């Protein structure tokens, strides 16, 4: 036992003192480190709090912007910068005075957005039915007229057409397709050869559904602004989402031709009449086919009704490039006159892109949406919506346009001060 005590005492005495000293030294260093850490952490936290506050403020601003998006966008019309760029090689021009039609703050039914116009040429004048959204969030159709195709000479302060529906039901697809709760979207006007009627196809939104509809009116009533519309007819079956249907301006083999899809291929329904009795709807299909290695990776649908030319049916269409998916662009194709399901030529590059301020500053940035086109004395007038907010126009010589399309070379576009623009330098011209 004595030996054990002698061996234990020195072990207890010496190491314990050293351990205490070490603990004191370590605790001092640790305390210093802790103080330094606290100071740095406080500074970091302060910085984080400031950045978080900024993020919260930015988020709130974005939420407020999205909630009041329309009101903010519609009140600020992009300023125009008159320029004149002329080129012998360029043949497709965006009108320098674009947009040619914009929202009117005094009209509650169109004080948010005016865009995506249908167009028809009658007796040398261009008539428009354009989509309008007002403060109640409903899409209606407005009327305007241009003598030369570039300047608006007449415009009504009230809607020319409304699509009636029973109940306002929020539809995700409808809201993000221009921003309305319901009504009639994106009208296309067709005058079938030999008839005294104008046919208007449009996207009908109401009661929770998105379907294609057809309205018609006598040309005489239309010109006299007597809106004696024939009751609208639903063309597509319930339970399906359909858009971008157009009627050919001539019967093909004695039958009406309705182009109702471009993806995965050109699809046309041939009909003896346009009455759609006994729920005889057109059964369409949109395939979402991806074209790899092309600018038009995803073809969305047709633009205006096809224009008949010597080379074939000229059809404009909307597409998205997967490499540039935030932009809505426009292409062109030529279809066979006798069998329009055959594509003869297709543009290798977009013929219209959102490059201007009025195409990128609006409800939906980066959108050009062609819905109207006319051949006026050999000149091709293309009417489109810019940024889902304005009506714009581009112009081309039809023969040059077709020649370039057949060569599969990118049609060039420049801004040009056209004759009708020289005296239209003020925003007040929007309100004519």
- Domain ranges for the chain, please list them: 15-67, 68-431
Residue 84: pLDDT above 90? no
How many beta carbons lie within 10 A of that of residue 212, not counting itself? 24
Task: Retrieve residue 418's tokens.
Answer: 């056209």
- Backbone phi and psi for residue 242, each to the nearest 5 degrees, phi listed first: -135, 145
Q: Average pLDDT in the 418-431 region?
A: 41
Q: In the structure, what pLDDT confidence band is assigned to residue 315 with cuts at 50, 70 and 90?
A: very high
Q: 381 or 29, which is more confident?
A: 381
How many beta carbons lie within 10 A of that of residue 88, not counting itself? 5
Which CA distances in Å does 372 have to 20, 37, 93, 161, 250? 91, 67, 16, 17, 17
What is the percent of the chain where pLDDT is above 70? 70
Torsion (CA) 131, 305, 235, 255 in degrees, nearest 10: 150
C-alpha span between 367 and 69 (Å, rounded): 16
Over residues 320-370, the pLDDT tens digits come to 998 898 999 999 999 999 999 999 999 999 999 999 999 999 999 999 999
C-alpha span between 102 and 431 (Å, rounded): 8
Among 4-13, 75-84, 279-288, which range has the highest average pLDDT?
Answer: 279-288
Residue 113: pLDDT above 50? yes
Q: In the structure, what pLDDT confidence band is assigned to residue 3 with cuts at 50, 70 and 90?
A: very low
Q: Look-up: residue for tokens 């109702």?
A: 260
Residue 19: pLDDT above 60? no
- Backbone phi and psi for residue 55, each to the nearest 5 degrees, phi listed first: -60, -45
- Backbone phi and psi for residue 330, each to the nearest 5 degrees, phi listed first: -125, 135
Least confident among 5-9, 162-166, 261-265: 5-9
pTM above the 0.75 mark?
A: yes
Least confident among 45-54, 211-220, 297-306: 45-54
Q: 82 or 189, which is more confident?
A: 189
Q: In the structure, what pLDDT confidence band is assigned to residue 92 with cuts at 50, 70 and 90?
A: confident
CATH no. for 68-431: 2.115.10.20
Residue 292: pLDDT above 70? yes
Calculate the average pLDDT of the chain.
81
**What pLDDT sits at residue 76?**
46
C-alpha span between 108 and 216 (Å, rounded): 26
Starting at the edge strand that comes first in sequence, how are the strands of the sheet with 267-271 ordered? 246-247, 256-261, 267-271
Among 2-6, 34-38, 111-115, 275-279, which range has the highest average pLDDT?
Answer: 111-115
Residue 50: pLDDT above 70? no
**What pLDDT sits at residue 47?**
52
State the distance between the two ends of the chain, measured CA to CA, in whole angstroms. Answer: 118
Sequence-distant (6+) residues with CB within 8 A of 249 are: 190, 191, 192, 193, 305, 306, 307, 308
Q: In the structure, what pLDDT confidence band is assigned to residue 28 with cuts at 50, 70 and 90?
A: low
Over residues 402-423, the pLDDT tens digits come to 999 988 644 444 455 554 444 3
Q: Look-up: residue for tokens 């900024």?
A: 54
Task: Retrieve residue 184's tokens.
Answer: 């009639």
**What pLDDT sits at residue 172?**
62
Q: Average pLDDT in the 186-211 region?
A: 95
Task: Retrieve residue 428's tokens.
Answer: 């007040």
C-alpha span between 200 and 217 (Å, rounded): 8
**What pLDDT sits at residue 250?**
98
3-state secondary structure the chain: CHHHHHHHHHHHHHHHHHHHHHHHHHHHHHHHHHHHHHHHHHHHHHHHHHHHHHHHHHHHHHHHHHHCHHHHHHCCCCCCCCCCCCCCCCCEEEECCCCCECCCCCCCCCCCEEEEEEEEEECCEEEEEEEEECCCCEEEEEEEEECCCCCCCEECCCCCECCCCCCCCCCHHHHCCCCCCEEEEEEEEEECCCCCEEEEEEEEEECCEEEEEEEEEEHHHHHCCCCCCEEEEECCCCCCCCCCCEECCCCECCEEEEEEECCCCCEEEEECCCCCHHHCCCCCCCCCCECCCCCCCEEEEECCCCEECCCCEEEEEEEEECCEEEEEEEEEEEECCCCCCCEEEECCCCCECCCCHHHCCCCCCCEEEEEEEEEECCEEEEEEEECCCEEEEEEEEHHHHHHHHHHCCCCCEEEECCHHHCCCCCHHHHHC
Over residues 362-381, the pLDDT tens digits come to 999 999 999 999 999 999 99
Least confident among 239-253, 281-295, 416-430: 416-430
Residue 5: pLDDT above 50? no
Q: 175 or 372, which is more confident?
A: 372
Q: 16 or 275, which is more confident?
A: 275
- Contact at 8 Å (CB) between 331 and 294? no
Over residues 141-171, the pLDDT tens digits come to 999 999 999 999 999 999 999 998 877 666 6
């Amino acid at each position: 036992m004595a030996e054990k005590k002698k061996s234990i005492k020195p072990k207890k005495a010496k190491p314990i003192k050293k351990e205490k000293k070490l603990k004191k030294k370590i605790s001092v260093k640790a305390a210093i480190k802790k103080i330094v850490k606290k100071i740095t952490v406080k500074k970091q936290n302060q910085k984080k709090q400031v950045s978080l506050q900024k993020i919260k403020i930015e988020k709130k601003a974005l939420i407020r912007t999205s909630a009041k998006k329309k009101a903010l966008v519609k009140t600020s019309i992009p300023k125009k910068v008159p320029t004149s760029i002329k080129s012998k090689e360029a043949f497709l021009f965006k009108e320098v005075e674009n947009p040619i039609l914009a929202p009117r703050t005094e009209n509650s039914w169109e004080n948010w957005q005016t865009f995506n116009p249908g167009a028809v040429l009658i007796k040398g004048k261009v008539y428009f039915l354009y989509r309008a959204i007002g403060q109640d969030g409903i899409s209606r159709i407005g009327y305007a007229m241009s003598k030369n195709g570039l300047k608006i000479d007449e415009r009504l302060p009230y809607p020319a057409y409304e699509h009636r529906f029973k109940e306002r039901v929020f539809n995700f697809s409808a809201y993000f397709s221009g921003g309305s709760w319901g009504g009639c979207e994106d009208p296309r006007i067709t005058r079938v050869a030999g008839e005294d009627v104008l046919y208007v196809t449009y996207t009908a939104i109401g009661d929770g559904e998105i379907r294609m509809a057809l309205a018609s009116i006598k040309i005489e009533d239309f010109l006299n602004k007597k809106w004696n519309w024939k009751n609208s007819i639903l063309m597509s079956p319930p339970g399906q989402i359909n858009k971008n249907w157009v009627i050919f301006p001539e019967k093909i083999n004695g039958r009406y031709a309705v182009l109702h899809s471009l993806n995965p291929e050109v699809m046309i329904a041939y009909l003896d009449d346009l009455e759609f009795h006994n729920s005889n709807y057109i059964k369409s299909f949109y395939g979402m086919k991806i074209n790899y290695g092309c600018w038009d990776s995803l073809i969305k649908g047709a633009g205006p009704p096809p224009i008949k030319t010597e080379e074939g049916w000229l059809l404009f269409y909307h597409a998205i490039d997967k490499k540039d998916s935030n932009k809505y662009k426009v292409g062109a194709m030529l279809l066979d006159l006798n069998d329009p399901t055959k594509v003869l030529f297709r543009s290798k590059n977009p013929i219209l892109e959102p490059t201007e301020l009025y195409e990128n500053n609006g409800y939906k940035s980066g959108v050009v949406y062609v819905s109207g086109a006319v051949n006026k004395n050999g000149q091709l007038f293309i009417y489109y919506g810019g940024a889902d907010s304005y009506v714009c126009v581009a112009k081309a010589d039809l023969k040059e346009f077709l020649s370039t399309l057949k060569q599969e070379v990118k049609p060039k576009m420049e801004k040009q001060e056209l004759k009708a623009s020289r005296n239209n330098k003020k925003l007040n011209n929007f309100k004519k």
